[in-house]
Amino acid sequence: MSEGQLPFSAVVGLDEPKLALVLNAVDRGIGGVLLRGQKGSAKSTLARGLAALLPGQAPFVELPIGATEDRLVGTLDLAAALTGGEYRFAPGLLAAADGGVLYIDEINLLPDHLVDVLLDVAASGINRVEREGISHVHSSRFVLIGSMNPEEGDLRPQLLDRFGLAVDVRASLDPATRAAAVRGRLAFDADPEGVATTLADGEAELAGRLARARPAVLPDEMVEAIVALCSAVGAEGLRADLTICRAAAALAGWEGRSTATETDVRRVAPLALAHRARRDPLEPAGLDQERLAQALDEHLSEGAGGERPPADPGPAMRPPAPVAGPADRRHSPNAAGRRVPSEAPRGRLVGDRAPDGPIGSVAVGATVRRAAARVSAAPGQPRVGPEDLRQAVRVQRTASLIVLAVDASGSMGAPQRMEAAKGAVLGLLTDAYQHRDLVALVAFGGDDATVLLRPTGSVEVAQARLAQLPTGGRTPLAAGLSTALAVATAPVRAATHRPLLVVITDGRATAGPPGVDPLEAASAAADEARRAGVEAVVIDVEDTGRSAGQPALGLARELAARMGARHLRLSDLTPAALQLSVRTALG
C-alpha cells in the first residue's frame, strides 16, 4: 500500500460501491464499475484501496483526461527507431495496468474513441495494436473503474451500457456514520502508519479471501429467472442478463458458497440495471425501485437451488472502527445522436499525409519510418530532415454548444407562453443530449441577464434550472443577447465546439443600460452577434397566448433579421420541426 493511502476496509458507509468493486475483482468478465458521485466522495480512495488488495503487488494505473491514444494503447519505440532503425513496440498504459486496476476519473469527459478502446480491452483482456507500422498483441487484464460527476454530463448511452455495474457514491446522511467518517479521516491524517498497522491484519484477511474467491455455480433455472427479470424491466440486448449472471455467481463465491441463489440476484440486480433503465434523458435518473421489486418478486419467487446466504455481507462490507474515507439513459444505437467524425487537430489518428503548409500535428511513426529508411540508405545524414516530416490525419466527432437565451420578463407571463417556451427548451435539451452537445442557459428579465447554467452535458441539471425559472419585470433584451454571446464565444470552448444561439422571446425590449434607449441597445447587441459570425435562431413566442383581436408586433422577426438569424414561430413548430431547424442552423 502506498504511503498515505487509506485502506479499503477503512472506508465507512459505502457498502454498495465496495461490493461492486470486489465482485469485479472476483470475475473481471463482469465488465468494470462506474462510480457516479460528486467530488470528495471517496471514489479514487476505493479504487486505490482495491488495487492494494489484489495479489502480487498489483499495479494501480490512472489514466489522465488529456492522454492520447498512443499513451493508452502503446506505439512505436521512437528511440529504437531513430538510433538503430529498429521497429519495436513501446507499451502504453494498458500494458502497465495488466493484472491490476485501471482507473479513469471523470471518464465522461474522456473522448469517446478512447472510452471505446478501454471497454473493448476490458471485455477481451487483450490489447491489439495495428498502427504506424506496428503489429502487436499483449495481455491486458485489469479491473476497470471509471468515476464521474453526473452534473458534468453522462456517458454516451452505448458506452454507459457496456459498463457491467454502476453505483451512486454518496456520503451518508446518518449523523453517526458521518461522525465516524470524520473522526477516522482525522485519525488517519494524523498517523497514517499507525492506522495502517492497526488495520493490517484485516487488510491481509481481505486480500487472502479475494485471492481464493472463485465464481460459484449458477443453476440453469436461475439463468432463466434472470433472463425473465431483465425482459420484464425492459433491458435491451443481453449485457444486463450476462452481467447479473456473472455478478450473482461472483457474490456467492466471494461469500464462500458453491451455488448462487435468488438472494444473490436480488443484491446485484440493481447494480447491473440502474444505468440501463432510462429511455429518455429527461426521465429521473436511476431505476424505479418499486418496479424492480415487483419484477424480482414475480420472477424469483420460486428461487433456484441452494440456501439463502447469511445476512452478514462479510468483512469487506463491514466498517471496521474507527477509520473512514472522505466524506439510462438509453437510446437506440441507430438514433440520430451519433456525431459525424471530421478532421481535427486532435482526436483519433487515422493516417498521415505530406504536409501542405505549417504542420499542426506530426505523424511521429510515419516520420520516423521515413527518416530511418533514408538514414539506412545513406549513413551520415541527419536523423530527421524536413523531407521526412508527415502530417498526422486525425478525426474527432464534432460537437456543438447550444446557448439557450430565454426571455423571463413579464411579457412572457401571458397564459401558456412560458410553458410553451419551456416545452421548446426541453425538446432542444433532449436533442442536445442525443447529439452529445453542450448546453448553457441564460435568462433575462428585470434589469439584467443571468447565466443560470454554464456549458454542461447534463440535461438533468439544465431541466432543473429551467423548472425554477421565474418570470416578471421588464425585458432587458440587450443584456440577454450580450450575455448569451459571451458564453457562446468564450475561448475555452471555441476550439472544440461550434456555438449556436437560440433566443426564445417575443422580441420586446423595455430595459437597457442607464441613459440608453432599450430598443437601440437591443439593436446594437443584435449587430454585435451578427458581426461575431455565430449561428443563431430566434424562436418567436409572440403568437403563443395572443388573443385573436390583439395585433402582432413582429418584433422577434425584426430581431432575427438584425442578427442574421433564422426566424421560427413557436406556434408553427412541432418538436421534430424545431429540432430539425436547429440542426440545419448547425450545418
The beta-strand segments (E) located in 77-216 are 89-90, 101-105, 126-131, 134-139, 143-148, 165-168
Residue 367 exposure: Cα atoms within 13 Å on the Cβ side = 19
Is 239 part of the annotated catalytic residue set? yes
Alpha-helix runs per DSSP H in 307-456: 364-377, 417-434
Neighbour-count burial for 267-285, b at 16+ CB within 10 Å, e otherwise = bbbbbbbbbbbbeebeeeb
Contact 543, 552 (CB under 8 A): yes
Three-state SS annotation for 387-402: HHCCEEEEEEECEEEE
Q: Beta partners for 36? A: 148, 168
Query: What whole-number distance in Å separates Cα of residue 154 and Cα of residue 164?
Result: 16
Please identify which of the residues 28, 156, 162, 239 carries the catalytic annotation: 239
Query: What nine digits make up the cell of 152?
Result: 458534468
DSSP 520-544: HHHHHHHHHHHHHT-EEEEEE-TTT
The torsion defined by the Cα of 62, 66, 72 and 78, in degrees rounded to 10, comes to -120
Helix (H) or strand (E) holding 297: helix 289-300
382 CB-contact burial (10 Å; exposed 0-12 / middle 13-18 / buried 19+): exposed
Q: Residue 568 in contact with residue 575, Cβ under 8 Å? A: no
Whether the link from the prior residue into 551 is cis, omega within 30° of 0, is no
Residues 553 and 573: their CA atoms lie apart, in Å, by 19
Cβ 62 vs Cβ 45: under 8 Å: no
3-state class (DSSP) for residue 294: helix
Residue 62 backbone dihedrals phi, psi, to 5 degrees: -110, 125
Known catalytic residues are 239
